[in-house]
Structure 1
Amino acid sequence: MGKISIIGLGPGDYSLISQGALEALKSSSRIYLRTEKHPTVDKLKEIIEYTSFDYFYEKEDNFENVYNEISKFIIETSKDGDLVYAVPGHPRVAEKSVSIIEAMANEKGIEVETIASMSFVDAMFNYLAIDPANGFKLVDAFEIENAYIDTNTSMIITQIYDHFIASNIKLQLMEYYDFDQEVCIVNGAGVKNLESKTYVKLFELDRIENEFNYLTSLYIPKSYKKMYNTLHDLEKIMDTLRGPDGCDWDKKQTHQSLKKYVIEEAYELYDAIDNEDIDEMIEELGDVLLQVVFHAQVGNSEGFFDMKEVINTICKKLIHRHPHVFNNVELDMNEFGRTWEELKKEEKGESTTTEGLKRIPKALPALIKAEKVQHKAALVGFDWDDIKDVFKKIDEEYQELLDECEVGNIKYIKEELGDLLFSIVNLSRFLKIDPTEALNGTTNKFIKRFEFIEQSALNLNKDLEDMTLEEMDELWNKAKKI
């Protein structure tokens, strides 16, 4: 098994290849280039023979496959002796194939040596006359959708090959920056006679002609126009509010004092959704999110948990409860509700269905709690087979309520009324109707009709208290026709 020497070819100017890299190239007869689309290669041709992997880019559908195939080839070829694998720039900077090769080589016990040259990042900062000590973030254009964008530090985006990629970058960045944020398109950094820089506004990024090629990167300086659009922004604000110079009210809050607001904000969001009010939904979702962050801040200040633990827990839960998505497990989606409950029982360490029923929050509104209890019981087969049986049960409970009302036993009247309501919730479940929404709809309808009665009475110069039930009933019937 041969040694793999991974070398950097520098940013593009022949003078910036390290002496060690040149010696490795000159001393090897088995040289492989990730790509020959690099300015130094024209001069290197005079002193070395090599094989280029550019054909992988034409054969594969995406860069991930390209890097994996190149890595497999290098590992397999190393069986026949020492070789050199050369990449543009510095082997440790934005070179995914290098990390993949090293991981594969480590598993197989293959020796790997890396020989550095100047990176294109160094060349960029030198060309732009900027000190990187102030901080920066390096992002691959093909991974920007998953990258954390921090507007408080400068950023370099690599591999902006064409206008299509530039357009996608622009759309992604405009989620975080003002449309007129100044950015710099840098071409050929570190390559004499090819270096160029063009400062444009962000919204103009993809309107610039003939600016994009395989040597193009984008530099975005730190933004001084603050845009609040990340969870981190909200956390920082809450840090300030609960800090030494913050708000006295925010500083003294506890989980107990805050718990009512979680419910209030959730119901306000519920109303906004019912009203199809998008602006209100945005505001109320923010209020709900604030409660999550607030509780995480309290947990952190008490030394029990923080936001990272909250996010980690929900992410792990979602992955565990969707094995068909994340672990390629075959599931019958018609039985997904049952699978979901089984996974929850596993997480909670429960062995019986009753434990799950008792875990349902006591503070839940009665209709919601009744529906959840019935649903969990139905998943293990405790349910009616036919909706006709549900109607019979309602009739039975209604008759039992009438019987108790005739006797006048308050205790049993309450119990039988609960039984009737529980059976009606069961009916709503069979009909696939949310009982809360159905009851809210009727309540709102009542309010609307009552408003008509009251307004009609005022138009007649009458008070409702002075009207007979027959008169109000007549107006009610009119309201029903509206």
Structure 2
Amino acid sequence: MSASLTIVGLGSGNPDRLTLGIVKRLQSASAVYVRTREHPVMAALEELGVESRSFDGLYESLPTFPEVYAAITDALIAAAKAGAEGDRILYAVPGHPMVAESAVSQLLRRCPEEGIELEILGGESFLDEAFVRLGFDPIEGFQLLDATGMQPSHVRPELHTLIGQVYDSFTASEAKLCLLERYPAEYEVTVGHALGVEGEETIVKVPLFELDRLEGYGNLSLIYIPADSSEQLRRRTFERLHEIVGILRSPEGCPWDREQTHESLRKNLIEETYEVLETIDEDDPEHMKEELGDLLLQILLHSQMEEETGIFNVYDVIQGLNDKLIFRHPHVFGGENAPDAEAALRNWEGMKAEEKRLKGLEPEKQSALSGVPRDLPALMKAYKLQKKAAKVGFDWGAVGEVLDKIAEELDELREAIAEGMPAEEQALELGDLLFAAVNAARFIGADPEEALSRTNRKFLQRFAHIEKRLLQQGKTPQDSNLEEMETLWQEAKREEG
């Protein structure tokens, strides 16, 4: 049999708050371990004759907090197993054992597995002092966060927020970066040190951007932000966006938004997509931010229409996307490997096929050209169809053969025009020529849509040069002739270098 293990809390820092029961346990224990000696109660324990061993050295020797807490857990289990039956090993932690004590959580899980009897005795938590000294009632809505593992998604401004484990300026800086995702840089926050400890307590209020510039962070430090449900903060949340779109579509909302359907907004979705693409082409981040918002609105509107019928809502859309991203990236979220982008793409395609099988479809029985959206722009659709056909071996052998095909299709177009064939026949020959040109783009590793977009931009720039030079001469293109405009066109080409 092994010794038993007792975990006690030393309270928030005031020795007068220690319970008589915990003091007796400390005095009668076979061996006492403390997480840290950096706690105001330790001096009182020494006066009471309580000898102890601390784990402070682990904080200096190990690089991360998780490794420290894992090492503390291992050490305490080893001490208990090495002890004799009837011995009681005691582990004392600041505050309350069940508040922000990772090693305690690990001991709760591992002690039963190791056959070690475990007892936990509470102590005054730093939360008790925080509620009093900072003056808020947690029943109004409260969250406790760990500065060493915060994420922006954890922060909910509508709740009173306490952030513990703010050991130093580095963890304060990490907390600040998370909070800046939700609050303005000038937002006032409160920092408390050693709350309730006579002669040591300090409470200061600072703008958020100065949070990591303060001195005095340590084991008894925390950050407090009062609950704030103001519109200013809510407008940075996805939940508020969802709420606004719902209001716009409600009977009390906007008449225009209420009248829209999937069909009426179809063209808006396409237009907003192309406006985003334009900002990418122009390398204009500020404009891109605005246009991405307009595109997101289209997604919210279509999702809201389905939410009104009870089919799905935007959170179902998000869940579906999360599920798909995780499933199709086994090299990131599973045990597969993908040393390069090509291997990652193979994984993606393989998991797409597996998804279809899970849905009762048989990918091997589907057309090799399936999966290309019907309403893609024609140039982009031709490119995707050719790529799919090439995957199953239906492709040209070399780019020279493709260029010969372009010449052949050009001759056929010339012939159709020369013979005065119907417009429909001429258009079909033109389509064949364009399709062959797309094949050439694929063989030289160019996206035909992007290639044509770049040519369009080049044309716009050169024609703008023509208009500018003509304007300097007091003319417009309508007042000029082709020869003059061609001269200016060549001038624009030369200026491009």
TM norm. shorter chain > 0.5: yes
Mapping of residues 437-452 of structure 1, within 5 Å? 437-450=450-463
Aligned to 2:350: 342
Distance 1:430 1:335 in 2: 21
1:114 aligned partner, one-letter code = I
Relative distance call for 1:330 and 1:257 in structure 2 (3 A) is same
Aligned to 1:135: 141
The offset of 1:186, in angstroms, is 0.6
Instruction: Map Cα deviations across residues 404-462 of structure 1 (whole Å, 9 max, x no partner).
Output: 55562666544443332222112212222221122223334444555666777886878
1:134 aligned partner, one-letter code = E
Aligned to 1:433: 446
1:51 aligned partner, one-letter code = R
Instruction: Map Cα deviations across residues 291-321 of structure 1 (whole Å, 9 max, x no partner).
Output: 2333333333322223332222222322222
Q: Which one of the candidate residues 431, 434, 442 is aligned to 1:421?
A: 434
2:303 aligned partner, one-letter code = A
How many correspondences in the alignment? 477
1:437 is paired with a residue whose SS is helix
The offset of 1:38, in angstroms, is 1.9
The offset of 1:281, in angstroms, is 0.8
Q: Which one of the candidate residues 215, 218, 221 is aligned to 2:223?
A: 218
Distance 1:108 1:376 in 2: 58
The offset of 1:381, in angstroms, is 4.7
Check conservation: 2:9, 2:95, Cα contact below 8 A: yes
Aligned to 2:495: none
Q: Which one of the candidate residues 305, 311, 325 is aligned to 2:332?
A: 325
The offset of 1:396, in angstroms, is 3.5
Mapping of residues 124-273 of structure 1, within 5 Å? 124-208=130-214, 210-223=215-228, 224=230, 226-227=232-233, 228-243=235-250, 245-273=252-280
- Consecutive unaligned residues in structure 1, runs of 5 or more: none
1:249 aligned partner, one-letter code = W
1:351 aligned partner, one-letter code = P
Distance 2:367 2:19 in 1: 67
Instruction: Map Cα deviations across residues 206-243 of structure 1 (whole Å, 9 max, x no partner).
Output: 444x4322211111223457233232232232243334
Aligned to 1:32: 33
Distance 2:197 2:475 in 1: 90
Mapped pair 1:352 → 2:360? no
Check conservation: 1:160, 1:212, Cα contact below 8 A: yes
Aligned to 1:361: 373
Instruction: Map Cα deviations across residues 229-286 of structure 1 (whole Å, 9 max, x no partner).
Output: 2322322322433345333333444444433322221111111121222221111111
The offset of 1:113, in angstroms, is 3.6
Mapped pair 1:297 → 2:313? no
2:369 aligned partner, one-letter code = L
Distance 1:358 1:343 in 2: 16
Check conservation: 1:457, 1:463, Cα contact below 8 A: yes
Aligned to 1:374: 386
Relative distance call for 1:44 and 1:225 in structure 2 (3 A) is farther
Relative distance call for 1:450 and 1:119 in structure 2 (3 A) is same
Distance 1:103 1:325 in 2: 28
Distance 1:106 1:389 in 2: 73
Aligned to 1:275: 282
The offset of 1:126, in angstroms, is 1.0
Distance 1:133 1:221 in 2: 13
Distance 1:108 1:244 in 2: 62
The offset of 1:161, in angstroms, is 2.6
Mapped pair 1:476 → 2:486? yes
Give me the TM-score of the superposition, normalised by structure 1: 0.87
Distance 2:468 2:82 in 1: 94
1:432 is paired with a residue whose SS is coil
Residue identity over aligned pairs, in percent, reads 40
